[in-house]
Structure formats: C-alpha cells, structure tokens
Chain A
Amino acid sequence: GAGVSQSPRYKVAKRGQDVALRCDPISGHVSLFWYQQALGQGPEFLTYFQNEAQLDKSGLPSDRFFAERPEGSVSTLKIQRTQQEDSAVYLCASSSRDITEAFFGQGTRLTVV
C-alpha cells in the first residue's frame, strides 16, 4: 500500500497475556520507529530500526517489550505479560534516508484489562 499499515487496529488483552503488534512500513523506507502514545500525551519514542538493525531501543520501558524487523521491512512489537499500564496507542512510523519527516500508521490501540 501507499502508507504505513498497522495491525490490528484494536487489541484487548487480559493482564498477563502476550501481544504482538505488526507494522508494514512504506515500501523502500529504511528507517522504522515505534512510539507509545498514552491518553492525552504526545507520542513517546520506543525504538528505532535502520533496515534490520535495531540501532536504538532506549525508549523501551522494560524487558517485557521486544521489537524486531528481521528482513528490514515488516516490524513486530511484542509485549510479554501485559500490564494495565501498557494500555496505549502504539504508533509505527517510517522514513527514507533522503527525507526528514516520518510517516505514521494509524496505530494500534491496546487495552489491557
């Protein structure tokens, strides 16, 4: 597709359940970012990939969060043993090497009950 695609759009998980969120970036974009947006807040940086290499994971809040991009295209953000404070919108963005702005997907709204 022409834009960044994220799935699922909505996910309800029971506390303690593992979840996996998918991001399909714009074709050819080498950079991929994950952000977490809590209600009423701006997006908070989680992690960054350049192609398949995870160059920065300083924003991941705990070792329950894991992201991968094995072939330098699709990325998956995995959250293990979800907790209520993980409830947020998870945004994926991609950009090419030649541009400065990143393009966002619609996000996945995760609700942990």
Chain B
Amino acid sequence: DQQVKQNSPSLSVQEGRISILNCDYTNSMFDYFLWYKKYPAEGPTFLISISSIKDKNEDGRFTVFLNKSAKHLSLHIVPSQPGDSAVYFCAAKIRFRGNNNDMRFGAGTRLTVKP
C-alpha cells in the first residue's frame, strides 16, 4: 500500500536552474509533510517540512508547496547547486494520531545537478 508516491525516479538539472521534485499522497489523514535528503552511505537528513494548514514554506533556496485538494506537494530548489545532488525522499505523517508519529516515505527521486 504505497501511500506516498514519487513517480520520478531521477531528475537532472543544470547548475543555477530550478529543480522541482514532486510527491503525491493518497491518505487524506496526513497532516504533516517532510522532505529528506540522502547522500550515499549516509542516513536521510531532514531538509524542510510543511503543515497541512499552510500551502507554502520557504527556507533559503528550498521551498515546499502543498496542494491539499490534489494531494500533491513539491520541493523547489533554486538556484540548484552541484552539492544538491542526492536522493530526495518525500514523507508524510499524521501528527496527532495518539503517540505514534511514524512517517511514510516515497521511493525517492535522485537529483543530479550538472555544473
């Protein structure tokens, strides 16, 4: 049961351009969404998040957009840098479901930023 989907396994962009990574979810109970970044041989590291009460959250070069009616979110990186090359995971959770706040992850999108 894939509740969080990242349909693009890979994305390649030129340095300085915008990277847009997409994520779709099926469970309307999800109310908090996160993006994690993963380099090879390392664990995922938290990047940015958004609550379902917002439609946009910005942190420096990274902006996450949430479209609840479409059950879709996207991560924009602008300008993209070669150091951004990594696998990006979208994750979703139900924040207030008792004490369990486990996350459901997408399969990831491998971003390559070319110099």
Contact = CB atoms under 8 A, between A and B. Distances in A.
Interface in A33-49: 33, 35, 40-45, 48
Interface of B: 4, 6, 9, 32, 34, 36, 41-46, 49, 89, 91, 93, 95, 98-108
Interface of A: 4, 6, 31, 33, 35, 40-45, 48, 50, 55-56, 59, 91, 93, 95, 100-107
Contact of A43 (B9, B42, B89, B99): B89
Contact of B44 (A41, A50, A95, A104): A104
Contacts of B99: 50, 55
A104 B41 CA distance: 12
B44 A100 contact: no
17 contacts: A42-B4, A42-B106, A42-B107, A43-B89, A45-B102, A45-B103, A45-B104, A48-B100, A55-B98, A55-B99, A56-B100, A56-B102, A91-B43, A95-B101, A100-B34, A100-B95, A104-B44
Nearest to B47: A101
Nearest to B107: A42
A106 B34 contact: no
A33 B91 CA distance: 14
Given A33-B102, A43-B89, A103 B46 contact: yes
